[in-house]
Amino acid sequence: AAPISILIASGLSAKRGILFKEGRSIERLHQVDRIVLDKTGTLTEGKPSIRAIESPGHPETYVLRLAAALEKKSGHPIALAIAAEAAKRRLLVPDADETKESPGHGVTGIVEGRWAAVGSSGWLRKLGIAVPERADRGKEEEGSVLHVALDGRWIASIAWTDRLRSESEKAVRELSAYGELWMLTGDEEEAAKRIAAEAGISRYRARMLPENKLEVVRNLQAEGRTVAMIGDGANDAAALAAADVGMVMDSGTAAAIEAGDVVLLKGELTKAAQAITISRLTMRNIR
Ligand code: ADP
Ligand code: MG
């Protein structure tokens, strides 16, 4: 049975918007010495906005309709941004068929009888689509870029940005007291570098697929570290499950919330540090 202090700690945490699924996580959390964070939706607000669309052969609105159709069923922050932009421009978005979302990559499907895809340049290239180098660059300074393909050809790039959460710097400072921090993102190098610098994190890795995030967690554990992973997306689910303690933003996708041990309400990242503090105080009292 859980000692009474664990019950008290979990009640206290719940009042502060930190939900422990099991008392055991409170015990494990006090030993954490490595903290791995996702970027989009975790350090950033996860409410990106579309900055620019470059589509040499098609009207912007056509590209946006395609992307919005593909993203209709996705819960990814990018999908929400695209839907919001389509709504802002009062576009009628058709339903796509056979849509398949590939976590950390993008979405493919059939829109009005034609094969279409929206996602990262690296992934589209792997699908055999020639994404122009030029379309990838230049826009990255202020944000990230994703691409749209139609019938196997690149047709457009969509530049988007997502702001750092207002409390991310503070949360990073507090979390640093408990161990080395790593930021892992599926996004490109430039965007990763910028957000890591803004948040005050010196160690980061870009272009991380879900399995790469998992690998980083496993490697740290193999070095004898106790790892907390903080994330929000389907692309974080494997790493969240493998971590000694997985912490998820309540704004996260169902797969991530399922995989995590601790849910941080109102998407407040500073709650992650509070959770560790509570666990340390609790465990000190028990022993
Ligand atoms: P992060 O690790 O920062 O949370 P993701 O792994 O979710 O980011 O996404 C990495 C990249 O993959 C995005 O920057 C985007 O280019 C692409 N991507 C992922 N999901 C989608 C989607 N639903 N629609 C379009 N692009 C996507
Ligand atoms: Mg994310």
CB within 8 A of 193, min separation 6: which ones? 204, 206
Pairing of strands 49-54, 96-102: unpaired
CB within 8 A of 252, min separation 6: which ones? 41, 231, 232, 233, 236, 260
Collapsing DSSP to helix, strand or coil, 72 comes out as coil
- State the pLDDT at residue 136: 66
Cβ atoms within 10 A of the Cβ of 132, count?
13
- State the pLDDT at residue 140: 55
- State the pLDDT at residue 138: 54
- State the pLDDT at residue 30: 93
**Nearest one of 274, 272, 227, 283 to 33, comparing CA atoms:** 227
- CA 77 to ligand 2 centroid distance, Å: 8
- State the pLDDT at residue 286: 73
Tokens 């389509």 correspond to: 86
pLDDT profile of the chain (287 residues), mean per 10: 81 93 92 96 92 94 97 92 96 97 95 97 95 71 88 96 94 97 94 95 96 98 98 95 97 93 93 95 82
Strands (E), 120-186: 144-150, 153-161, 180-184
Q: Is 38 a catalytic residue?
A: yes
pTM for the model stands at 0.89
For each of the domains in the chain, give its residue range(s) and CATH number, in order of start. 4-44+164-286 (3.40.50.1000), 49-161 (3.40.1110.10)
Among the bound ligands, name the one nearest to the CA of residue 116.
1
CB 118 less than 6 A from any atom of ligand 1: yes
Give dist(CA 107, CA 173) in Å, integer.
35
CB 66 less than 6 A from any atom of ligand 1: no
